[in-house]
Amino acid sequence: MESDSGYVFLRNGKAFEINGASGTSNFRTLHEAGGNCLRIWDTVHLQQTLDSAYANDIAVIAGLPMQNGDQTKLYNNPAKVAEQLAKFQSVISRHKDHPALLMWCLGNELDFPYGPSYNHYYDAFNAITDMIRRIDPHHPVTTTVLNFNKKYIANIQLRCDIDLISFNIFNDLRLLRRDLKRFSWFWNGPYMLLEWGTDGPWTGTESTAWGAFIENPSKKKADVIQHRYQEAMPREDPRLLGNFVFFWGSKQEATHMWFSLFDEGGRKSEPVATMEYLWKKTRPDEHYPEVRYMLLNKKGAGDDILLNPGQMMIPELAVDKKDSIASVHWEIFREDWYKKNGQNSTRKLTPLDMKVEPGGKLTTQFKSPAEEGPYRIFAKIYDYNGNFATCNTPFYVVSDR
């Protein structure tokens, strides 16, 4: 609702200040860290998600995975449009009264272009929002736009019926204050940030000569997240109703650790502690491995490391407070970063079956893969409390045949 000082989100009749995360798991840790809201992208296992969230005093923004407007075979077919609407209606009817539900998010990073060829798409979009308002008038509806896209925002305002706009913004978050001010003459409504966090690999990230993105160690990611939250995010803006750090869990995107704040077993990396500090205003009384960088055969990630098949690889970690390190888990993965459509793969990868030679905790020995191509070596560094840090280095195997 709109108040004298701006906009306020009401939950159970009371003002609700969102401390949010975008992810799929670790509800208890989210609550303990001071978070109170989780954003999810689809309706898979929605009942289980809502129940787990409610048990941990977490609200949920549930995603409705609407197909994008370029799916003309769908939107030009009334029967398929009706089928999509019916599926969403069934979901809304089944879950609208769950006490953990906070809001519906229709689609994720949809396109909102202008042009008559998209009329059926907009008709379908508004049919879904009309259905939600009819069946579930107590939960608002939003949608997400990638970055601050003025054309999309204008078309949403002119052609769609939603309660507020949400953005997924990473590297360009530093520009958001400026963009909001410049476009306030046309749009001055409420908004949320449903995804933000460390730098994405798609822009502004260093890469090797063969195009492999160079990933920051988890310590650097934590520093970026803290700076972005405190300096770049317009938290003073009364139009901003909530922000959601990405990714609260473990997922494959560019690499299996690029955005993951947890490992596959639910153990925490330093950005989790950073969010607890930002939400609670007190630094948690726990420590994390402090990894500064990795060298591979005395070279860094930006040195374009080329190896021959079967060549000896000696990775080394530069770590502060070495006495706190309990173990190091080394893995080599074949790269999965290049896609013709420009999208990062989300396919879960399996590490190569490589024999690790005996070595110290912070160094080891491998032989490089026999097959030519791009690879990446990962290290997960665990302390005695089970917390971990991570870093990796890309390399390329060049066959001499």
Span 279-325, pLDDT tens digits: 999 988 888 998 999 999 999 999 999 999 999 999 999 998 888 89
pLDDT of residue 340: 46
pLDDT of residue 381: 94
pLDDT of residue 3: 60
Q: Could you give the C-alpha distances from 17 to 13, 207, 272, 375, in angstroms and in order?
A: 13, 39, 19, 43
Which residue spans of the chain are classified as CATH 3.20.20.80? 2-280
Whole-angstrom Cα distance, residue 68 to residue 361? 48
pLDDT of residue 338: 54
This prediction has a pTM of 0.93
pLDDT digits (tens, 9 = 90+) for 55-66: 999 999 999 999
Which residue spans of the chain are classified as CATH 2.60.40.1220? 290-397
> Is the confidence at residue 342, as pLDDT, over 50?
no
pLDDT of residue 6: 73
pLDDT digits (tens, 9 = 90+) for 232-278: 999 999 999 999 999 999 998 889 999 999 999 999 999 999 999 99
What average pLDDT does the chain have?
A: 92
pLDDT digits (tens, 9 = 90+) for 28-37: 999 999 999 9
Asked, as a colleague might, if the bond just before 112 is cis with ω within 30 of 0, I would say no
Considering only 2-16, 171-185, 193-207, 333-347, which range has the smallest mean pLDDT? 333-347
Whole-angstrom Cα distance, residue 353 to residue 331? 9
Multiple choice CATH, 290-397, 3.90.550.10, 2.30.250.10, 2.60.40.1220, 3.40.1050.10: 2.60.40.1220
H or E segment to which residue 121 belongs: helix 119-135
> Is the confidence at residue 354, as pLDDT, over 90?
no
pLDDT mean over 60-83? 96
Quote the longest CA-to-CA distance of the chain. 73
- Listed residue (20, 111, 131, 126) closest to 71, CA to CA: 111
Residue 341 pLDDT class (50, 70, 90 cuts): very low
Tell me the residue length of the chain: 401
Q: Could you give the C-alpha distances from 256 to 53, 122, 259, in angstroms and in order?
A: 25, 35, 8
For β-strands 290-296 and 59-64, DSSP reports them as: unpaired
> Does the domain formed by 2-280 have CATH 3.30.2270.10?
no
pLDDT of residue 13: 87
> Is the confidence at residue 399, as pLDDT, over 50?
yes
pLDDT mean over 110-124? 94
Residue 250 DSSP symbol: -
Tokens of 283: 């630094």
- Listed residue (319, 261, 329, 257) closest to 294, CA to CA: 319
Per DSSP, what are the bridge partners of residue 146?
168
Whole-angstrom Cα distance, residue 253 to residue 246? 12
pLDDT of residue 61: 98
Does residue 374 sit in helix, strand or coil?
A: strand
